[in-house]
Structure 1
Amino acid sequence: MNKRQLGSSELYVSEISLGCMSLGTDHNKAKDIIDRALDAGINYLDTADLYDFGENEKIVGEAVKGKRDDLLIGTKVGNNFNRDEKDWHWDPSRKHIKEGVKDSLKRLGIDYIDLYQLHGGTIEDPIEESIEAFEELKQEGLIREYGISSIRPNVIKEYVEKSNIVSVMMQYNALDRRPEEEILNLLADNEISVLARGPLAKGMLSSKGQEKAQEKAENGFLDYSQEEVLEIAKRWQTFTTEEKTAETLALQYVLQNPTVASAVFGASSVEQLNDNLRYLESPPLTEQTYQDMQALTRGITYQKHRAK
C-alpha cells in the first residue's frame, strides 16, 4: 500500500483508508472489517466521539489492541453529547476539547491520538480558543497532530491562516468537485493535506451507481437533478475494465490530486470493503482517462456553507 505524507507532519497515511462511521454496533462484525482492512495495508482508521455516542471509538479500540504501533488513529471532537439522552450540541470551546480528548482516549484504550480533528465549525466559533486547545494537547503529548473536518471555505481559510493544522477532511468526489474550485490549491500552497471522505458519492460512483442514484438522489444531488446523476452513473461504468472497477475509478479520481493524502471510504461489510480494496490491484489512472472522467461532471462552488 502506497502512503502519502499528511501535510508537513511525520505522519504517512495509506492512500485509501477506513472511515469507521458505517461499521455498526456489532463488535465482531466490525472487528472483521477492521482486521481485513489492516491486513490489506490500510494504516489509518478514522472515527469520531459522536459516532454511535462513543460506541464507535470503543469498537475501534478493541479491534486495534496489540496493533497500535502499526496504525494511525484519527478521531474528532466538538459535539458535546449526552449518551443517555442521545442528544448533542456544538461546543468548540477549549474546555470541551481538552475534556473530550481524555474521554476519547479512554474509549479507544490508547495513550495518544495521531490526528485529532475539530468535527465541523462555523466562522462565529471562538477559533483562536479552539486552536489554543489543540496546541496545548500537542505539547502535552496527548495528540500528535490536529486538523479540521469541514467543507466551509471561510472556516478552512481561518484555520489555514491561524493554526498549524496538517489536514482538512472534506467531502470530495467526481460528483462533488467543490474543493477543486476553491480549496485544494489553497491547501497545497500551505502544505496541508486533504482527507477525502465520501469518494464514492454515497455509492453513486460504485458498481451499483444507478441503483444508488435512484435511492440517494431522489431530489437531486448538489446542483444535479436526479436525471443528470443517473446519466453520469451510467456513463461512469463505460470507464470500467477488468482491472478497473467503478469503485477503483472513484478512488483514483480523488487521489489524482496530490493534495489528497487519502481517500477515506466507509464499509458496513467485509464484502463492501473488498470491493474498494480492488483499488490495490489496478494500474494507475492515465491523465487522459482522468480528464475524460472529469468531463462527465461540472465544477461547482460552495453556496450554503460559506457565511457560517
Structure 2
Amino acid sequence: MEKRRIGSSPLESSLLGLGCMSLGTEYNEAEKIIKTAYENGINYFDTADLYDYGTNEEIVGRALKPFRSDVLIATKVGNRAKDDKSGWYWDASKFYIKEQVKNSLKRLQTDYIDLYQLHGGTLDDPIDETIEAFDELKQEGLIRAYGFSSIRPNVIREYAPRSSASSNMMQYSLLDRRPEEQAFPLLKENNVSVISRGPLAKGLLSAKSNEKLAGHGENGYVHYSHQELKEVLANITGHFHTRSLTELALLFNASNPEVSTIIAGASSPEQVQENIHAINQKPLSREEIELLKSLTNNRGYTEHR
C-alpha cells in the first residue's frame, strides 16, 4: 500500500489507516480486525484515551505489541473523563496533557506514542501552554510527533502557525468537502498534513448506502437534505459504472495531496479487506476527480470561519 509522510515528521503512514473506535470491547474479535489490517498493509492505527474510557487503548496496545516497531500508534487527549465515567469535559491544560500521556502509554504497553493528538481544540484553550505541553513531550521522547483535531478554520488558524504540529485530523469526504475552502490552504501553508476521518460519510458512500440512506440519512448529512442525498448518490452511481462508491470515496480523499492518511473504521475483518481493496485500485483520473466535484457541492463552513 502507498505510504505518505505526515507533515514534517519522520512518520511514514499507510494511505489507509484503521480507525479503532468501533472495535468494541471483546478482545478476540478486535484482534482479528487489527491483525487483518496489519497483514494487508495498514501500519497506522488510530485510538483515543476516551474510547471506552481507556479500554480501546488497552486492546490496541495488546494486539499491536508483537509488531510494535512496524506500526504507528496514534492516540488523543483532551476529553477528560469524569471520575464516575458518566461523561467527559474538555481539558487542554498542560498539566492534564502531561499527566494523561503516562496513562495512555501504560494502557498501550509502549514507551512512546508515534502521534499524540489534541482531541479537538477551541479558541478558549490556553493555546501556548497546550502547544508547550506537546513540544515538551516530544523533547522528552514520549511522543514522536503531535497534531490536533479540528474542523474549525478559526481554531486551525491559531494552532497551525504557532506550533510544530505535523497533522490535523478532520472530517472530509465527497459529501463533506467543507475543508477545501479555508482549512486545506491554511494547513498546506504550515506544512501540516490532513488526516481525514469519516471518508465514507457514515456509510452513505459504502456498499450499504441504500440501507444507511433509509436510516440516519432521513435527517440529511452536512449540507444535504435527505432528498438531495438521494439525488447526489444516484448521480454518482449513474456516472461511474466500473467503480464502487467505497472506491470513489476513498480514492477521492487520496487524490488530495494534503491528505497523508485516510482513517476508516471497521467492525469486521471483511470490512477491513473491502476498504483495502478499494484504496488499492487505480487512482482517479483528473477527469474523474472533476466530475465528482461537479456532482457534489462545496459550500464551505457557515460557522467558525
Percentage identity across aligned positions?
53
Assess, with a 3 A threshold, how the Cα gap between structure 1 residues 239 and 113 changes in structure 2: closer, same or farther: farther
Note the C-alpha offset of 1:182: 0.9
TM-score by length of 2: 0.97
Q: Matches of 1:216 and 1:28 in 2, distance apart?
A: 30
Q: Which residue of 2 aligns with 1:14?
A: 14
**1:156-305 paired onto structure 2 within 5 Å:** 156-241=156-241, 244-305=243-304
| Matched-pair contact (CA < 8 Å) for 1:46–1:74 | yes
Q: Which region of structure 1 is more displaced relative to structure 2, 91-100 or 245-254?
A: 245-254
Q: What secondary structure is seen at the aligned counterpart in 1 of 2:170? A: strand
Q: Compute the RMSD of aligned alpha carbons.
A: 1.3
Unpaired runs of 5+ residues, structure 2, are: none
| Matched-pair contact (CA < 8 Å) for 2:195–2:262 | yes
Question: Aligned letter for 1:9?
Answer: S
Question: Aligned letter for 1:255?
Answer: A
| Matched-pair contact (CA < 8 Å) for 2:105–2:112 | yes
Question: Aligned letter for 2:114?
Answer: D
Q: Which residue of 2 aligns with 1:103?
A: 103
Question: Aligned letter for 2:299?
Answer: I
**How many residues are aligned here?**
305
Q: Which residue of 2 aligns with 1:58?
A: 58
Question: Aligned letter for 1:121?
Answer: G
Q: Matches of 2:131 and 2:239 in 1, distance apart?
A: 43
Over residues 37-80 of structure 1, what are the superposed CA-to-partner deviations in whole Å (9 max), with x where a residue is unaligned? 00011010000000011010001011101100000000000011
Question: Aligned letter for 1:277?
Answer: I
Note the C-alpha offset of 1:191: 1.2
Q: Matches of 1:305 and 1:100 in 2, distance apart?
A: 28
TM-score by length of 1: 0.96
Question: Aligned letter for 1:113?
Answer: I
Note the C-alpha offset of 1:9: 1.2
| Matched-pair contact (CA < 8 Å) for 2:147–2:168 | yes
Question: Aligned letter for 1:247?
Answer: T
Q: Which residue of 2 aligns with 1:78?
A: 78
Q: What secondary structure is seen at the aligned counterpart in 2 of 1:173? A: coil
Q: What secondary structure is seen at the aligned counterpart in 2 of 1:176? A: coil
Q: What secondary structure is seen at the aligned counterpart in 2 of 1:65? A: helix
Assess, with a 3 A threshold, how the Cα gap between structure 1 residues 241 and 17 changes in structure 2: closer, same or farther: farther
Q: Matches of 1:84 and 1:64 in 2, distance apart?
A: 29
Q: What secondary structure is seen at the aligned counterpart in 2 of 1:137? A: helix
Q: What secondary structure is seen at the aligned counterpart in 2 of 1:8? A: coil
| Matched-pair contact (CA < 8 Å) for 1:204–1:210 | yes
Unpaired runs of 5+ residues, structure 1, are: none
Assess, with a 3 A threshold, how the Cα gap between structure 1 residues 53 and 239 changes in structure 2: closer, same or farther: farther
Q: Matches of 2:23 and 2:240 in 1, distance apart?
A: 28
Q: What secondary structure is seen at the aligned counterpart in 2 of 1:195? A: strand
Assess, with a 3 A threshold, how the Cα gap between structure 1 residues 35 and 240 changes in structure 2: closer, same or farther: farther
